[in-house]
Amino acid sequence: MTTLNQHTVLQVEDVSKMYKLGLVSTKSLAHDLNRWWHRTRGKEDPYLRIGESNDRASRGESDYVYALQDINFCVDQGEAVGIIGRNGAGKSTLLKLLSQVTQPTTGRISVRGRIASLLEVGTGFHPELTGRENIFLNGAILGMRKKEIASKLDEIIAFSGVERYIDTPVKRYSSGMYVRLAFAVAAHLESEILIVDEVLAVGDAEFQKKCLGKMGEVSKGQGRTVLFVSHNMQAVKSLCNRAIYLQNGRLKSDGPAQLIVDQYLSGYDSMETTRQYKNLDSEKSVFLKSARCLNTSENEKYMFTADEPITLELVIHKQHPVRGVFLHLLIRNNEEITLLETDSKEAGYAFIDTDKEGDFISRVTIPSRVLRSGRFHVTLGIASAQHDPFQIESLDSFISFDVLADKTPRDARRVALLSTILDWKNV
């Protein structure tokens, strides 16, 4: 927690943002007239019933919702602050207030220096203009002067890696190139405070790394302040020295990034609805009825540390007599790269080899420290040589789980896709 001092570049005091529900959905004069007509007859507003709920998940009584409530914090120059919280916690609202896109309902935000926000990259790109023209336009929208952009033009083009297409209209760009160019402009913005919201979700892995590197350079090397909103806890941990945790529009905690991220993640399981897979009905002769992830003490869990083995429990239902049924699993990471493939047949294990019908439970365990940190998705195939067609069921990414960084010093800085502990020997 930072208090006000001479290095403070951003001060947020008692900021709240209230949204009126119901009214928001009204777009036409007709609705307003209807509302007025109801009111003059002493009847209740016909539109207020729409979207009353306060917390996203539960119904509320009030027509008003606080997207943010009593937020107070200060940020010093050079700090890299991660803003974390679940969907709907108010992160984006906070950024919108900071970037002056919308106005707070109460409170005051004071800023020293220039704020540049990257709420979504590529804002103001005109499809008909060339990459070069768009660099200037986008830079100017973000608050840069023309000569400032001109002096950095070469650097921006080099960073974006789209030199070849720079004089082609951006409507001919691939979406990846578009994002690269847009981020390149924003990253070269000379603002004292840089606001970044989830830009890293786009672009390929190589470019994401480049962006993270650039952001690190901005905050650590150039002494500029970065506010970073992300669901990527690894990125928050490695980039930010401080984190602010928002929950239901309130500031829950504020402190060193490591600590706050851990707090956020530990609370995650209890808050999160189960990611269990369930399917009670299928026409297939053998199908997956349910699936869940378990830890070593057989508790259902979807968030593991790299030092924990992960057990996948599959409940397979058989409704027709099929023998010699095998299971086949693929594990993919978030970038759709298949990391692991395992087949029960290769383990010499035909899962269902009886004429009995009903539920069969199978468990398979991924040992600790096989996967590195990240989110993983499981794909299942059910097959039998005695069935036509051979493949009985195929389910893509029916369940997913997260692996957090292990507790070694290397932690999130691992570059490989696997971080398996191998057998090392002196010979």
Partner 1 sequence: MSDARDNQPQWDLVIESKTPLFRLNFRELWRYRDLLFLMVMRDYKASFKQTILGPIWFFIQPLLTSTVYSVIFGMIAKLGTDGNPRLLFYLSGVILWNYFSTCLNSSANTFISNANIFGKVYFPRLIMPVSVIISNMLRFSVQFLFFGLALAYYIIQGNTAVHITWVALLTPVFILIMAALGLSMGLIVSSLTTKYRDLTHLIGFGVQLMMYATPVVYPASELPLKWQQIIQYNPMTAVIEGFRYAFLGSGTFSPSMLLYSLGITVVLFFISVIMFNKVEKGFMDTV
> For partner 1, which is the closer residue by CB, 186 or 257?
186
To the nearest whole angstrom, how small is the minimum distance from the Cβ of residue 45 to partner 1? 16
> For partner 1, which is the closer residue by CB, 104 or 249?
104
To the nearest whole angstrom, how small is the minimum distance from the Cβ of residue 397 to partner 1? 31
> For partner 1, which is the closer residue by CB, 173 or 304?
173
> For partner 1, which is the closer residue by CB, 119 or 212?
119
Q: What angle do CA 57, 59, 61 make, to 5 degrees?
A: 145
How many contiguous H segments (helices) and E segments (strands) does the chain have?
A: 9, 18
> For partner 1, which is the closer residue by CB, 183 or 376?
183
The encoded tokens of residue 61 equal: 């009584």
To the nearest whole angstrom, how small is the minimum distance from the Cβ of residue 193 to partner 1? 10
The encoded tokens of residue 424 equal: 């090392």
Cβ-based neighbours of 331, under 8 Å, separated by 6 or more: 338, 339, 340, 341, 366, 371, 376, 377, 378, 379
> For partner 1, which is the closer residue by CB, 109 or 330?
109
Integer Cα distance of 300 and 85 in angstroms: 23
Q: What is the DSSP letter of 11?
A: E
To the nearest whole angstrom, how small is the minimum distance from the Cβ of residue 66 to partner 1? 13
Buried b (16+ CB within 10 A) or exposed e, 173-193: beeebbbbbbbbbbbbbebbb
> For partner 1, which is the closer residue by CB, 10 or 322?
10
Buried b (16+ CB within 10 A) or exposed e, 357-391: eeebebebebebbbbbbbbbbbbbbbbbeebeeee
To the nearest whole angstrom, how small is the minimum distance from the Cβ of residue 104 to partner 1? 5
To the nearest whole angstrom, how small is the minimum distance from the Cβ of residue 71 to partner 1? 13
Point out which residues pair with 376 in neighbouring strands: 333, 401
Q: What is the DSSP letter of 388?
A: S
> For partner 1, which is the closer residue by CB, 44 or 120?
120
> For partner 1, which is the closer residue by CB, 169 or 381?
169
Integer Cα distance of 178 and 196 in angstroms: 17
Nearest to 15 by CA among 87, 80, 74: 74
To the nearest whole angstrom, how small is the minimum distance from the Cβ of residue 92 to partner 1? 11
To the nearest whole angstrom, how small is the minimum distance from the Cβ of residue 131 to partner 1? 14
Cβ-based neighbours of 408, under 8 Å, separated by 6 or more: none
> For partner 1, which is the closer residue by CB, 109 or 364?
109
Residues forming contacts to partner 1 in the complex (CB under 8 A) are: 4-9, 11, 19-20, 23-24, 26-30, 32, 96-115, 117, 119-120, 123-124, 126, 128-129, 133, 136-137, 140-146, 169
The encoded tokens of residue 22 equal: 């119901």
To the nearest whole angstrom, how small is the minimum distance from the Cβ of residue 48 to partner 1? 16
Nearest to 9 by CA among 82, 111, 97: 111
Integer Cα distance of 304 and 301 in angstroms: 7
To the nearest whole angstrom, how small is the minimum distance from the Cβ of residue 129 to partner 1? 6
